[in-house]
Structure 1
């Protein structure tokens, strides 16, 4: 098969022929029709993720496609089934899985990190009965390309962990794919959303997706959702959000993933507000536990979404209530995938790679 490959971290990406994958006894091989491009893929290529241990490597952790082959122990899926896959692939048998919390599986694997990923014509997924998710018949593969991480991560963070309610104020820090997904999902849930980023095009897209207000952070700018352009002072940005929301947001979502954006999320909340961290925060935070204590704030992490939790999101997408297709602003073939990865964030919204396009 053809795949995007790198032989050394941060070095050249090339498309070349590599061996076809084969399904494990409990696994499946998926013909990849669409693969979302996420900032996490860039971090993996740069060597920031310690789960990538063997080189050469094929990145990509989001995919939608068709089951090509299954192992002898797979009972729920057959070749020809249209599917997507959570980026956290669970074992199905550990304590966390037994409790229904597959998104924090103790023996989880992630395509594009623990093993070769989806920037290829085919991808192998283990424990298919636990991890595959059926796509609605009418959903295009391109629209489903970001469901494995960016859209599903935002859905769980906003709806399930953040417990958003109609009429609440929600602030979203970072308007890359995850952040823009959170904007759409929160607005659809009836919340009033403030989108914060350093990029004007990303904020304009956030408004089109339902943001009631936007705030452009000062600084040197940078790609949507990036850590470039640390605002000075940080307190001024949080104060601006508190002013917009009449005293502070009820829910803050940090889709930017930096020490200062975590502080911004906490500082933007009103009393008894909730903060949800959906992207790993780089560096050390100066998290004020005094504020958490005095305001009785809730601080939570949200790590993807288990396959069994997808139906509610899929039903809303199938009904046209949620529109993941509106987040896709660019599609590229496999030959242009390396350039798109290297320039991640240069185009607001979600870029989807079409390996067979």
Structure 2
């Protein structure tokens, strides 16, 4: 019998029978299929690196029956519009953050880098086994031509709270702060008086150099170290309060998915589950190392002042209570599901 890890990694999702070893599908010329897939970040972002490795692994494991060509974020469509490109079948797969689609679904921010979100593998287990993937598909709706599946979410470690040129000693320093802050966190900080803007990750280094912004959130300590953000911001503020996890999700075009033979579906699901979990574990490890790397580079790594955390948490509670009342029912359904799961998870791990 397969362990849980083997179950996720080797394609036995949703009750499917495990694939026999070796995990390679023999090519048949008539069956060959080509997909295009895009990440959402620059080439140096670990999420993009893992996306590219996955695409190559699918191509190799299928013996060329399914060739997945990887593209960097913004190279096929403008950055953060990858999911729409999947829906339109311009891309057949994409690896992106749900919160980049708040313009379509306000509930998308609940699953992405938000204050109070489930952290780490608690988020992944909710997504895989407690109905999270189904709720995301329900949110997108039957008419939207894209879908996800269990194993497709990489939770990632907490995001850096802020890289900042400005010392943040209290809430007074947040008011008027020119900051790149995405998703619901950006809306909440705006309510707290910050001047928040949306800027693609690949443009953050230059935006800090030019003074367009004074601070930004982007990703994990490990990812941000590899993007050389130590060169443009003196302060590295850490706290899980703003984004306990930094989840990214693989999406596929429904029609392209339906056209895959069952064995290739199992292969794709198994490899996606493997690479999303591997990325999470890798970044947990690398983020521990990155703390000392930032310090050695002359940065000051600090905890976020308690009054900022308290203000953010209180405003987030108000924000989500309001949204749960005024948005479509799926918003409250996802919010209540995640909240209930967090309560149960914490009770089980007390």
TM-score, structure 2 normalization:
0.29
Q: Which has the higher contact order (CA 8 A, sep 6+)?
A: 2
Structure number with higher strand proportion: 1
